[in-house]
Amino acid sequence: MTRGIQELSGIGAKAAERLSALGITTVYDLQSYFPFRYEDHSIRRIQEVDHEEKVTLSGTVHSEPELRFFRKQSSRLTVRVLVDGLLVQAIFFNQPYLKKQIELGQVISFHGKLDKNRLAVNGAKLIGKTEGQGLDPVYSLRGDIKMFMLRKWIKQSFDEFPDDIEEILPYQLMQTYKLMDRREAFYRLHFPEKEKAFLQAKRRMIYEELLLFQLKMQVFRKKQRESTHGVTKTLHKDEVQAFIASLPFPLTQAQDRVINEILEDLEGKHRMSRLLQGDVGSGKTVVAAVALYASVLAGYQGALMVPTEILAEQHVESLTELFANTPVRIGFLSGSSKTKERRETLAKLEAHEIDVLIGTHALIQEPVIFANLGLVITDEQHRFGVGQRRVLKEKGLEPDVLFMTATPIPRTLAISAFGDMDVSTIDEMPKGRKVVETHWAKQDMLPRVLTFIEKHLKKGNQAYVITPLIEESEKLDVQNAIELHQQLQMVLTDWNVGLMHGRLHATEKDEVMKQFAQNEVQVLVSTTVVEVGVNVPNATVMVIYDADRFGLAQLHQLRGRVGRGSDQAYCILLADPKSENGKERMQIMTETSNGFELSERDLELRGPGDFFGVKQSGLPELKVADIVEDYRILEIARDDATKLVKSTAFWETDDYRGIREELARQGAFLQDRLD
């Protein structure tokens, strides 16, 4: 596997340097440099082909090839080929050597643009003799490497050093899934001659790639578990149950289930690293409260981190209420806390006079000292939290960690991106929730939308109006919000219209939010800052300007601000009907209210790379497999990986040496790969 590329005949220093631009330095690199796509060259009947269409034709050579040279180095080779009963001229430029290769009576296939009037293919490319290949491999190129060179070298590498490709999968897996041998699979991917073999080759390599990927995740996770000894918390289960029973509502089954999963982690001897996902409004806060309560009773402090101050305050409010009849002491740390307050809070925290600290994500970055931190919960965590984990580690803290997110992560991505975490899912809404009725309207229908808003205001409900988004410029967004706010104030004279945007001071934001929550303000004009978490159950109308400019996940988040009470809620999407991509998203929004389904469709529309930034998500760069398309194989690979990592055979026997070596080659055994 380490044979240098220059050992290949005909490759000298210069070619080697060119190849290194593609990351190819060994023969094996070359052999595993798979095509990124294939051009379909399946042979068509000439009668079905249009004039000037690019096709592959196949027929019998009917005349000796005629070679003409013109100017200095240019040549033209003409061959008459009998194709489907018609005599077609195949004209090859600058490939004089073909004269010796093409013989009378042979069956050849060639590719090019058909001139139907003259029955000629100018600038033909010879695809093959005897039988035409259906697919032509296309490689990604860089520097001054040409496709034909690469193809030639790859072919050569298989001729000269076929043994550089070794089987890495254990016999048992090869047998179970009837997988094609690795060497053959490599070859078939480069030279896809027979369709069936090509598909088998793909299947094998997809499985191999996903298995390795999952093994890396699992190995990493195992190492992480071994190196971090979480604390075994002694839970007071009866009291936790009593707390749950005292809640103002019965928990949903899903809430019950995830709470049990979390409590088991808290008790367990490994450090918890768990993702809790649940659609907007599915009731994650109360789950967090139970976890914090259990942890506090066990003698530990907890921290709850959220992305915005507004949300932090809301959590302070709801947790204060939930913990009202308990001994849990809540502390709040905000960017706008006064120095004195701040100092007091920090002192109390260090003295363990505060049990649960609530604040923004900046919380753990600050010089905050806990007396005995046992549980960290982050809410509305869209990203991995890799950064946060690192900060905690650097501080020498290894508390149990729970990430909560309302951005439902499609199953496929959850498996792959969060493979090193456990995932709990709340897949059920509290009883009696009504689906938010969603409509899509053109921007110029505003007068009707206003009438609609007023109708609901008269009933005593409230409305959000999300203002247009301009090219991600916060300044212009704010400008827009200000203008729309003025307009609406003039129209909705009987009501109080509030304004909220990112440039407001934190205390101003809080003030507006409070007014809205207390129904002193009935209409809240806002930029997307209200996106996450905010809870005003009396608000029943959500109007979103420029809805076509938002991603599905964000629209769903915004929509989730309404429908939190018992009244029927509405979401009006104002969108430009001409926006192509927008149309599809609006359609999906009106059809689906289930966040998971929506995110699956979002994933289809955008592809996994876009869903999170690839780097941030920890998604691998796969050569053959596609996480979305091949998710069934991904699931199988994940299960296999889990079993393997747990078995001793995987770590010790010869059968698994190949795969262990490959994993080592990919750096899987280095610590901290994901951290």
Q: What is the contact surface with ligand ADP in residues (CB under 6 A)?
A: 249, 251-252, 255, 278, 280-286, 406, 430, 535, 564
Nearer Cβ to ligand ADP, position 128 or 430?
430
CB of 312 to Mg ion, least distance (A): 12
| 306, two tokens | 């959220």
Which H/E stretch holds residue 139?
Answer: none
Q: Which of 7, 40, 29, 1 is nearest to 150 (CA)?
A: 29
C-alpha 90/C-alpha 109 separation (Å) is 10
Measured from each CB, the residue nearest to ligand ADP is: 283
CB of 238 to ligand ADP, least distance (A): 21
| Residue 230 near which of ligand ADP, Mg ion, none (CB within 5-8 Å, type-dependent) | none
| Residue 282 near which of ligand ADP, Mg ion, none (CB within 5-8 Å, type-dependent) | ligand ADP
Nearer Cβ to ligand ADP, position 188 or 556?
556
| Residue 280 near which of ligand ADP, Mg ion, none (CB within 5-8 Å, type-dependent) | ligand ADP
| Residue 535 near which of Mg ion, ligand ADP, none (CB within 5-8 Å, type-dependent) | ligand ADP
Strands (DSSP E) found in 130-252: 135-138
CB of 280 to Mg ion, least distance (A): 8
C-alpha 407/C-alpha 625 separation (Å) is 25
- Choose one: 66-74, 528-536, 592-600, 640-648; the region binding Mg ion (CB under 5 A): 528-536
Task: From residue 472, give the alpha-carbon distance in Å to each of 356, 544, 550.
Answer: 36, 16, 11
Task: From residue 321, give the alpha-carbon distance in Å to each of 247, 312, 330, 589.
Answer: 10, 14, 11, 34
Nearer Cβ to ligand ADP, position 286 or 481?
286
> How far is CA 629 from its chain centroid?
13
If one asks whether residue 192 binds Mg ion (CB under 5 A), the answer comes out as: no
CB of 288 to Mg ion, least distance (A): 8
Nearer Cβ to ligand ADP, position 230 or 278?
278
- Plot region of 252 (φ>0 → left; ψ -120 to 50 → alpha; else → beta): beta
| Residue 137 near which of Mg ion, ligand ADP, none (CB within 5-8 Å, type-dependent) | none
Nearer Cβ to ligand ADP, position 435 or 445?
435
Mask of contacts with Mg ion, 475-514, x by CB under 5 A?
A: ----------------------------------------
CB of 563 to ligand ADP, least distance (A): 10
If one asks whether residue 533 binds Mg ion (CB under 5 A), the answer comes out as: yes
Query: Residue 208 burial by CB count (10 A; 0-12/13-18/19+): exposed, middle or buried?
Result: buried
| Residue 308 near which of Mg ion, ligand ADP, none (CB within 5-8 Å, type-dependent) | none
Nearer Cβ to Mg ion, position 134 or 533?
533
CB of 561 to Mg ion, least distance (A): 11
Place of tokens 């650097």: 394
Do 446 and 577 meet the contact criterion of CB atoms below 8 Å apart?
A: no
Bridge partner list, 83: 86
| 251, two tokens | 């928990």
| Residue 249 near which of Mg ion, ligand ADP, none (CB within 5-8 Å, type-dependent) | ligand ADP
| 182, two tokens | 């690795």
Q: Which of 330, 247, 262, 321 is nearest to 294 (CA)?
A: 262
CB of 321 to Mg ion, least distance (A): 15
Do 566 and 281 meet the contact criterion of CB atoms below 8 Å apart?
A: no
Measured from each CB, the residue nearest to Mg ion is: 533
Residue 231 phi, psi dihedral angles, 5° rounding: -90, 145
CB of 406 to Mg ion, least distance (A): 6
CB of 320 to ligand ADP, least distance (A): 13
CB of 532 to ligand ADP, least distance (A): 9
| Residue 410 near which of ligand ADP, Mg ion, none (CB within 5-8 Å, type-dependent) | none
Do 279 and 595 meet the contact criterion of CB atoms below 8 Å apart?
A: yes
Do 540 and 515 meet the contact criterion of CB atoms below 8 Å apart?
A: no
Nearer Cβ to Mg ion, position 157 or 526?
526
C-alpha 624/C-alpha 649 separation (Å) is 28
Query: Residue 487 burial by CB count (10 A; 0-12/13-18/19+): exposed, middle or buried?
Result: middle
**Complete DSSP assignment for 420-461:** TSEEEEE--PPTTPPPPEEEEEEGGGHHHHHHHHHHHHHTT-
C-alpha 24/C-alpha 165 separation (Å) is 15
- Choose one: 412-420, 421-429, 530-538, 612-620; the region binding Mg ion (CB under 5 A): 530-538
H-helix segments, 228-308: 237-245, 253-267, 284-297
Nearer Cβ to Mg ion, position 533 or 595?
533
| Residue 405 near which of ligand ADP, Mg ion, none (CB within 5-8 Å, type-dependent) | none
| Residue 502 near which of Mg ion, ligand ADP, none (CB within 5-8 Å, type-dependent) | none
C-alpha 406/C-alpha 560 separation (Å) is 10
Nearer Cβ to Mg ion, position 312 or 633?
312
Nearer Cβ to ligand ADP, position 180 or 562?
562
Place of tokens 């149950």: 241
CB of 175 to Mg ion, least distance (A): 48
Do 488 and 525 meet the contact criterion of CB atoms below 8 Å apart?
A: yes
**Complete DSSP assignment for 278-297:** E-TTS-HHHHHHHHHHHHHH
C-alpha 225/C-alpha 95 separation (Å) is 61
Nearer Cβ to ligand ADP, position 89 or 461?
461
Nearer Cβ to ligand ADP, position 110 or 323?
323
Bridge partner list, 108: 59, 129
CB of 283 to Mg ion, least distance (A): 8
| Residue 598 near which of Mg ion, ligand ADP, none (CB within 5-8 Å, type-dependent) | none
| Residue 69 near which of ligand ADP, Mg ion, none (CB within 5-8 Å, type-dependent) | none
| Sign for the pseudo-dihedral over CA of 33, 209, 159, 90 | negative
- Choose one: 125-133, 155-163, 244-252, 525-533; the region binding Mg ion (CB under 5 A): 525-533
Neighbouring C-beta atoms of residue 648, cutoff 10 Å: 7
CB of 505 to ligand ADP, least distance (A): 26
Nearer Cβ to ligand ADP, position 319 or 547?
319
If one asks whether residue 419 binds Mg ion (CB under 5 A), the answer comes out as: no
| Residue 111 near which of ligand ADP, Mg ion, none (CB within 5-8 Å, type-dependent) | none
| 321, two tokens | 């209420």
Amino acid at 117: N
Nearer Cβ to Mg ion, position 533 or 608?
533
Report the C-alpha dihedral over residues 221, 224, 226, 229, rounded to 10 degrees. -130
C-alpha 240/C-alpha 287 separation (Å) is 12
CB of 357 to Mg ion, least distance (A): 18
C-alpha 326/C-alpha 510 separation (Å) is 27
Nearer Cβ to ligand ADP, position 189 or 598?
598
| Residue 359 near which of Mg ion, ligand ADP, none (CB within 5-8 Å, type-dependent) | none
CB of 538 to Mg ion, least distance (A): 17
Kindly determine how many residues on this chain lie close enough to bind Mg ion according to the rule CB under 5 A: 1
- Contact residues for Mg ion (CB under 5 A)? 533
